[in-house]
Chain A
Amino acid sequence: MSELKGETPFTNPGLPPHRPRRADEDPKAARRAEFQAVGLLVVSILGTVGAVLAYLFLPLSGSNGDIRRMTALMGAGIFLGMIGIGMGAIHWAKTLMRDHEMVEERHPIRSSDDTREEAVQMLKDGVEDSGVGVGRRGLLKGTMLTALAIAPLSVAIPMIGNLGGDWNVGQIKHTMWRKGMRLTRDPEGTPIKAADVTIGSVFHVIPEGLAETPDPLEEKAKAVVLLIRLDPRDLNVVPGREDWSFDGIVAYSKICTHVGCPVALYEQQTHHLLCPCHQSTFDVANGCKVIFGPAKRPLPQLPITVDSEGYIVAQRDFDEPVGPSFWERLK
């Protein structure tokens, strides 16, 4: 083995003298150790039996108490059953098995030079036998490598390609909100009258007819909205969006623009919306702009109005994709 860098100049004093254990010298101590191990193993047997009995005979009527008892008692039985064996075996090894330290030589991991030479020679012989030695039959080697390299593609491409479904990525830019679509309560689906939304309320909203769409969860994942009413004196309407809200009632997308969790915590007094996942905070009184946290963009606003019966309806879809940023979001 090569000399190791920085090795100490001191010489190794050799193995320390062996210290006998009590059980090595005193037969009574050895007997005691044996009984301790036996005791542990007996505990194990009892535990195993207990676990099986618990499985067979404990009632499971469906009440929480029954489930808790079954879990705890079966578990306790298995616990004792296992740990008894474990500690019994380990105790036996520690007290009764011979513990004189033994020494074994290490051999270098590296193969000997002879072996390496022989191995290299074998490989060379093999290459010669193959008829494609260095500089020979280049075309054969080249085409073999090419064919091998591209062969997996015939399986990999369909495998990967099919996993993407219809690959219609443009869908994520639009939601199901349309002109005149009523805002309804989540999860009941009942429409909301403007008069119901009092100052300080927050309604969790889904579009009318969500349950009848072919992919309700996928639509819901984009279309959930928060409906909030502020005192109009507190609300600073975003310029250009004067007709998107009315009388202090505003609607914003519930999908966080950070990484997409529902932004659901509404603080009535401060008019702040807090997302519980990464603590992005949005100010409802100021166009839901970000005032703290890792999000950058304000929540998209849903333009709303009231229909002839007094129910709140959307004017059209959001004018930007909801949720987190992605490469082609604005294109």
Chain B
Amino acid sequence: MHSLASRRYHRSAPLVLVLALLALITVAYAFFASAPARADEGFTDAQVAGGQKLFAANCATCHGLNAEGSSFAPSLVGVGAAAVDFQVGTGRMPMQASGPQAQAKKPQFSQAEIDQLAAFVASLGTGPSVPTAEQVDGSLGDPAAGMELFRTNCAMCHGSVGGGGALTEGKFAPSLFNTTPTHIYEAMLTGPQSMPVFNNANISPESKRDIIAYLEEQRDEPPGGLTLGSLGPVSEGLWAWIVGVGLIIGITVWVGSRSS
């Protein structure tokens, strides 16, 4: 008989077994280990490779070739794909100059390229991942609950409806009127620059969606008329003087003038 079992005492059997075991572990690891990181984001090896090239060309000067950080930029190991999608997607990165306030500007990369960068950074260490479409769908959220959370956690920096607000030394919390739901979610999750981190234990994913629902509700037609920037009583006072007093004085001068 030449069954496999009869060969078990062959002298190369241990070697073959070890190699087989290694191969099995390698295949299993390759299948399972990459799956969580990649199955969530769906990142492919090609994306990671492309991302590495883009990173080396555009980010490594400050963040280091392996994103280990330097004296003027923090390490990106563990920041996750969400952080990259937010920072690069809003154009904040690459930054023109290092500093505490990263200005949003026209994004320098296409979404495909951003995905590659995200894939690369995510591969360096596990971190928050890009939210799914369902997680940022405002129509599934409760705007009233979102407003309560926004009022307690966000309004003091971003203003009562997300119009923006001042921080110290020239920094500011930007307006949220034109920010996409995905970027809003990612910003809460990763705490970019001055913004604190609102991890999922602090504000759960459902609550984050509620906040997005609230902000989207605010983009609906304002019931009172022109919003005057939603900046509060200062702009109201300014317009009272400019429009109200202006009109009244104009008419007053007409009342008091001689008719021709």
- Shortest CB distance B158–A (Å): 10
Contact indicator A268/B196 (Cβ below 8 Å) = yes
Contact indicator A21/B260 (Cβ below 8 Å) = yes
Interface class of chain B by DSSP: loop
Contact indicator A23/B259 (Cβ below 8 Å) = yes
Contact indicator B156/A276 (Cβ below 8 Å) = yes
- Shortest CB distance B206–A (Å): 12
Contact indicator A68/B196 (Cβ below 8 Å) = no
Query: Is B167 part of the binding interface, using a Cβ–Cβ cutoff of 8 Å?
Result: yes
Produce 1/0 per residue, B236-260, CB < 8 A to A.
Answer: 0000000000000001001101111
Give Cα A308 to B90, complex, Å. 43
In the complex, chain B residues whose CB is within 8 Å of the CB of A274: 167-168
- Given A67-B224, A199-B197, 11 other A-B contacts at CB below 8 A? A67-B223, A94-B258, A94-B259, A195-B201, A201-B197, A201-B199, A204-B152, A267-B167, A267-B168, A267-B171, A269-B193
Give Cα A270 to B170, complex, Å. 13
Contact indicator A68/B165 (Cβ below 8 Å) = no
- Shortest CB distance A19–B (Å): 8
**A186-B152, A267-B168, A268-B193 known; A68+B199 contact, CB < 8 A:** no
User: What residues make up the interface of B, taking CB atoms closer than 8 Å to A?
Assistant: 100, 148, 152-153, 156-157, 165, 167-168, 171, 173, 191, 193-199, 201-202, 220-225, 251, 254-255, 257-260
Contact indicator A270/B221 (Cβ below 8 Å) = no
- Shortest CB distance A257–B (Å): 17
Least CB separation from A21: chain B residue? B259
Specify which of B197, B198, B199, B258 lies most central, judged by the most chain A CB atoms within 10 Å of its CB.
B197
7 A-B pairs (CB sep. < 8 Å): A64-B222, A72-B225, A94-B255, A198-B201, A201-B196, A228-B196, A265-B165
- Shortest CB distance B217–A (Å): 9
Contact indicator B168/A270 (Cβ below 8 Å) = yes
Contact indicator A68/B152 (Cβ below 8 Å) = no
Contact indicator B167/A201 (Cβ below 8 Å) = no
Least CB separation from A274: chain B residue? B168
Interchain Cβ contacts within 8 Å, total number: 94
Contact indicator B259/A95 (Cβ below 8 Å) = yes
Give Cα A191 to B193, complex, Å. 28
Query: Is A65 part of the binding interface, using a Cβ–Cβ cutoff of 8 Å?
Result: yes
In the complex, chain B residues whose CB is within 8 Å of the CB of A23: 259
**A23-B259, A265-B167, A267-B168 known; A200+B196 contact, CB < 8 A:** yes
Q: Which one, B152, B156, B257, contacts A265 given CB within 8 A?
A: B156
Give Cα A269 to B195, complex, Å. 8
Which parts of A59-101 form the interface with B (CB within 8 Å)?
A: 64-65, 67-68, 71-72, 87, 90, 94-95, 99
Query: Is A182 part of the binding interface, using a Cβ–Cβ cutoff of 8 Å?
Result: no
In the complex, chain B residues whose CB is within 8 Å of the CB of A202: 196
Query: Is A3 part of the binding interface, using a Cβ–Cβ cutoff of 8 Å?
Result: no
Contact indicator A272/B168 (Cβ below 8 Å) = yes
Give Cα A47 to B254, complex, Å. 22
Specify which of B168, B173, B199, B222 lies most central, judged by the most chain A CB atoms within 10 Å of its CB.
B168
Give Cα A203 to B198, complex, Å. 8
Give Cα A187 to B144, complex, Å. 13
- Shortest CB distance B140–A (Å): 20
- Shortest CB distance B215–A (Å): 15
Query: Is A166 part of the binding interface, using a Cβ–Cβ cutoff of 8 Å?
Result: no
Least CB separation from A292: chain B residue? B168
Produce 1/0 per residue, A190-209, CB < 8 A to B.
Answer: 00010111111111100000
Query: Is A266 part of the binding interface, using a Cβ–Cβ cutoff of 8 Å?
Result: yes
Contact indicator A269/B194 (Cβ below 8 Å) = yes
Least CB separation from A206: chain B residue? B152
Contact indicator A187/B199 (Cβ below 8 Å) = no
Give Cα A198 to B157, complex, Å. 20
Contact indicator A266/B199 (Cβ below 8 Å) = no
**A265-B156, A268-B191, A269-B100 known; A200+B221 contact, CB < 8 A:** no
Query: Is A306 part of the binding interface, using a Cβ–Cβ cutoff of 8 Å?
Result: no
Which parts of A238-295 form the interface with B (CB within 8 Å)?
A: 262, 264-270, 272, 274, 276, 279, 281, 292
Least CB separation from A273: chain B residue? B168
In the complex, chain B residues whose CB is within 8 Å of the CB of A203: 202
The 4 closest A-B pairs by CB, nearest first: A196-B201, A264-B156, A67-B223, A200-B197
Produce 1/0 per residue, A156-200, CB < 8 A to B.
Answer: 000000000000000000000000000001110000010111111
In the complex, chain B residues whose CB is within 8 Å of the CB of A68: 221-225
In the complex, chain A residues whose CB is within 8 Å of the CB of B257: 94
In the complex, chain A residues whose CB is within 8 Å of the CB of B173: 265
Contact indicator B197/A71 (Cβ below 8 Å) = no
- Shortest CB distance B162–A (Å): 15
Least CB separation from B196: chain A residue? A202
Contact indicator A266/B196 (Cβ below 8 Å) = yes
Contact indicator B223/A268 (Cβ below 8 Å) = no
Give Cα A270 to B169, complex, Å. 11
